[in-house]
Structure 1
Amino acid sequence: MRKFIILLLVFIIVFSNICIADEAKEENEKVVISLAGDTCFDGALKKHISKYGINYPFDKVNCYFNEDDLTILNLETSVTTRGKKWPNKQFNFRSNPNSIKGMAESGVDVVTLANNHILDYGYSGLMDTLKCLDKYNIKYTGAGKNKKEAIEGVIIEEKGVKIGILSFSRVIPDMKWYATSERSGLVSGYDYYVGEMTKKIAEMKKEADIVILSIHWGVERITTPRKQEINVAKKAIDCGADIVMGHHPHVLQGIEVYNGKPIFYSLGNFIFNSASKAGTNTMISQVTIVDKEIQSINVIPCKIINGRPIPLEGKEKAEAINNINKLSKPFGSKVNGKGFMEIN
């Protein structure tokens, strides 16, 4: 009987130590989230994809997306083979459905849809886009069959961390793009709707450990955010957002850390045909979460060549990091020579 009790005590001690070690490992496990900007497979990219295959746009960066825990892009195009151009727009983008298959195979998990091109080919084009994303199991937010779906957002759990993503746009070509209870469309982040947006952020924060706000805003080809973008970003963080990922200017803007939360004012183009030199400068921004808190960010500078991003090395990488730091200087932010910045 005495031997049995001793063996039982040894078993309990060993088992307890294993559990404690496993809990400590889980608590310290890193979750890496990759964020990138405007993604569209129209124009010359269609020819490149036809020639080199559906994985062509991502073949130099999918190593990052397949090794991280979550990848989020802004999908700025209708994905359809039908529909008519929305009238009175300068640019209407339409991408082939096989592009989404390539995106899924390259490790993209979530796309944000609240932007000024998601209805370029009308409501039928939007519905085709949603169906295609569902087919390849890519989550989406910011647009939907109705307003309830468009504003709902998504929550994804990775290694015990619940990550919520919301998407709003402050660039909307037509009032008819607004989702309603009876009409498909997107959700607005304009001043009149900021209260609705912050309310949704606060609600999601009750369920999610990390809340990411994706927001389409700003002025094209301008490398400095306006006062209104800065104010909205900080208001979002005050209401519970942990990360703000901005896009629309088609060029990079600076990084600010506000109350320990990173704001990427513009991630620039990512998969995109750009006529301007500045528009070919882009980056992947990786945010590392430890113990459900933001620990650091890692900026991976890239150059867009023939529509696809290619990571930079050596002197080109150093110059790109210097440029990002120049853009971020007004906010007191700086990444080191390798692109890292400790947050906490």
Structure 2
Amino acid sequence: MGEMIFTATGDTFITRRLPGKDKSFLELSGLLKKADVRFTNLEITVHDGEGIPGAVSGGTWAKTKPAALQDIKDYGFNLVGWVNNHTLDYSIEGLKATERNLDTYEFVHGGAGLNLASASEPRYLETEAGRVAMIAATSTFHESWVAGDQRPDMIGRPGINPLRYQTIYHVTQEQLAHLKKIASSTKINAVRDMSIKEGFKVERKDGLFEFGGHLFKEEKQEGKTTSPIPNDMNRILQAIREAKRQANYVLVSIHAHEMLADDKEQPAQFLETFARACIDEGAHAVVGHGPHLVRGIEVYKNRPIFYSLGNFIFQNDTVTHLPADFYQAYDLSHTNTVADALDVRSKDNSIGLGVNPKIWESVLPIWKMENGELTELNLHPLELGFGKKRFERGWPVLSDNTAVLERLSELSAPYGTEIHIEEGVGKVLLKKGVYV
């Protein structure tokens, strides 16, 4: 295989049209277009109101006009994942409309579809440098959003390609005894126990104790562990096995908000397990996004894992319409407006994502691969307008602020990744021959 150049971003949450193609746009789009493969995660539904607001959302009911896809195309993106915690904000019709519009604008896209086979299959991008496969999944979603399998006698269910995970809480013998006593006296497991008696659920045989839907295990050391659900992990690995025989390179996209303990900058344990398993199976890169800030970079077996690339476009505070559910959550009425609701949610811009500077800076990685091996990885800092009014911020510009690179270097160090900052660009030091 010859050399191929990749770039990828985190979340593109676009609700406004690009005002113009100024110098900063041309500089950024020019850098993006140097790559053969240009990926972004589309974290918004795209339609003209065909979708019905779902009973649950990813936090904000995310919707933009189809014409916004032209702006994403103008930046240069040619590969789009659109599976995340907003994919079904506007129910199945919103999902179908988003898929139609992505097709209309001729993006190669994946991660959601009319059934599980469609949502989980590899999608292929043809470039002059070679063929690239993308498999996209999310671990952050409402359980009703999972795509369903087709059967000979029943159609599948539209939805997302899920990566579910299991959480086990480790407690001491004494603590477990207390939990069992509380469960007995409060009957917190009564519905589950009755479902087992009536045959709607199967009794656990793994020795774990269930307490109100949470799983506990007796251990000497207290803590929490997470691990991918085997069925989902195996389905994604099967897609990688298919893709690596049909393309030069395989890219895996994973949208994941889940964190380690209470540290949003650290990925949950199951994400590390998942990402390394994907590389072991033959993926050439894993691109993470979801928490709206950057997480560490791991170079595993000479292939990059980006645990989160933060935001690329982030305009969640300029949606034009929201359903009644959003207003009711903040005790507002039908006479209130979107601006009212956003003011209440942010306590007049004193809390939330808008006041966290880490949300409004990220990086754009450009990396080269040859014969399946990483040969170069550079990181370009981006800024999205922290401190501006909410209707002004959210557009990315290349920046000479190296603070995000310094923080990313610290987050990457535990993975053995060294980032040297040279002339405002982060350069990952590759250790050839170390990975097997």
The verdict on a shared fold, with TM-score over 0.5 as the criterion, is yes
TM-fit CA distance, 1:272: 0.4
Amino acid at match of 2:359: G
Partner of 2:34: 67
> Gapped runs of 5+ residues in structure 1?
1-26
Q: Output the CA distance in 2 between the equivalents of 1:180 and 1:91.
A: 28
Select the residue among 321, 324, 333 that pairs with 2:417.
333
- SS of residue in 2 equivalent to 1:199: helix
Q: Cα distance 1:204–1:129, how it changes in 2: closer, same or farther (>3 A)?
A: same
- SS of residue in 2 equivalent to 1:294: strand
Q: Cα distance 1:236–1:284, how it changes in 2: closer, same or farther (>3 A)?
A: same
| Amino-acid identity (%) | 26
- Provide, for residues 36-94 of structure 1, a one-character-per-residue CA deviation record: whole Å limited to 9, x for no partner: 0011113xxx2xx27x2599995552112222212100001100121221113332100
Q: Output the CA distance in 1 between the equivalents of 2:268 and 2:145.
A: 26
Q: Output the CA distance in 1 between the equivalents of 2:94 and 2:281.
A: 34
Q: Report which stretch shifted further, 190-199 or 108-117.
A: 190-199
Tell me, yes or no, if the aligned pair for 1:37 and 1:268 is still in contact at 8 Å. yes
Select the residue among 296, 302, 308 that pairs with 1:266.
308
- SS of residue in 2 equivalent to 1:266: coil
TM-fit CA distance, 1:320: 2.4
Q: Cα distance 1:122–1:210, how it changes in 2: closer, same or farther (>3 A)?
A: same
Partner of 2:241: 202
Q: Output the CA distance in 2 between the equivalents of 1:56 and 1:172.
A: 38
Q: Cα distance 1:172–1:260, how it changes in 2: closer, same or farther (>3 A)?
A: same
**Quick check: 1:31 aligned with 2:4?**
yes
Q: Output the CA distance in 2 between the equivalents of 1:55 and 1:81.
A: 28
Select the residue among 251, 271, 275 that pairs with 1:233.
275
Partner of 1:114: 83
- SS of residue in 2 equivalent to 1:67: coil
Select the residue among 158, 174, 177 that pairs with 1:184.
158
**Quick check: 1:168 aligned with 2:137?**
yes
Tell me, yes or no, if the aligned pair for 1:76 and 1:118 is still in contact at 8 Å. yes
Q: Cα distance 1:53–1:177, how it changes in 2: closer, same or farther (>3 A)?
A: farther
Q: Output the CA distance in 2 between the equivalents of 1:215 and 1:209.
A: 20
TM-fit CA distance, 1:165: 0.8
TM-fit CA distance, 1:178: 2.4
Q: Output the CA distance in 1 between the equivalents of 2:40 and 2:130.
A: 20
Partner of 1:288: 368
Tell me, yes or no, if the aligned pair for 2:136 and 2:252 is still in contact at 8 Å. yes
TM-fit CA distance, 1:342: 4.7
Select the residue among 377, 384, 401 that pairs with 1:304.
384
Q: Output the CA distance in 1 between the equivalents of 2:86 and 2:247.
A: 29
Amino acid at match of 2:4: V
- Provide, for residues 207-240 of structure 1, a one-character-per-residue CA deviation record: whole Å limited to 9, x for no partner: 2222111011133770011221111111111111
Q: Cα distance 1:33–1:214, how it changes in 2: closer, same or farther (>3 A)?
A: same
Q: Output the CA distance in 1 between the equivalents of 2:379 and 2:71.
A: 24
Aligned residues: 308
Q: Cα distance 1:289–1:40, how it changes in 2: closer, same or farther (>3 A)?
A: same
- SS of residue in 1 equivalent to 2:418: coil
> Gapped runs of 5+ residues in structure 2?
151-155, 165-227, 316-352, 386-392
Amino acid at match of 1:80: H
Tell me, yes or no, if the aligned pair for 1:295 and 1:342 is still in contact at 8 Å. no
TM-score (norm 2): 0.66
Tell me, yes or no, if the aligned pair for 2:84 and 2:140 is still in contact at 8 Å. yes
TM-fit CA distance, 1:112: 0.4
Partner of 2:55: 87
Tell me, yes or no, if the aligned pair for 1:287 and 1:296 is still in contact at 8 Å. yes
Q: Output the CA distance in 2 between the equivalents of 1:184 and 1:88.
A: 16
TM-fit CA distance, 1:157: 3.3
Q: Output the CA distance in 2 between the equivalents of 1:333 and 1:188.
A: 29
TM-score (norm 1): 0.83
TM-fit CA distance, 1:264: 0.3
Tell me, yes or no, if the aligned pair for 1:179 and 1:187 is still in contact at 8 Å. no
Tell me, yes or no, if the aligned pair for 1:165 and 1:212 is still in contact at 8 Å. yes
Q: Output the CA distance in 2 between the equivalents of 1:176 and 1:340.
A: 39
Tell me, yes or no, if the aligned pair for 1:60 and 1:309 is still in contact at 8 Å. no
Q: Output the CA distance in 2 between the equivalents of 1:156 and 1:136.
A: 14
Tell me, yes or no, if the aligned pair for 1:114 and 1:143 is still in contact at 8 Å. yes
Q: Output the CA distance in 2 between the equivalents of 1:142 and 1:57.
A: 31
**Quick check: 1:324 aligned with 2:408?**
yes
Amino acid at match of 2:11: D
- Provide, for residues 175-204 of structure 1, a one-character-per-residue CA deviation record: whole Å limited to 9, x for no partner: 244244322211111133111111211221
Amino acid at match of 2:119: A
- SS of residue in 1 equivalent to 2:309: coil
**Quick check: 1:214 aligned with 2:214?**
no
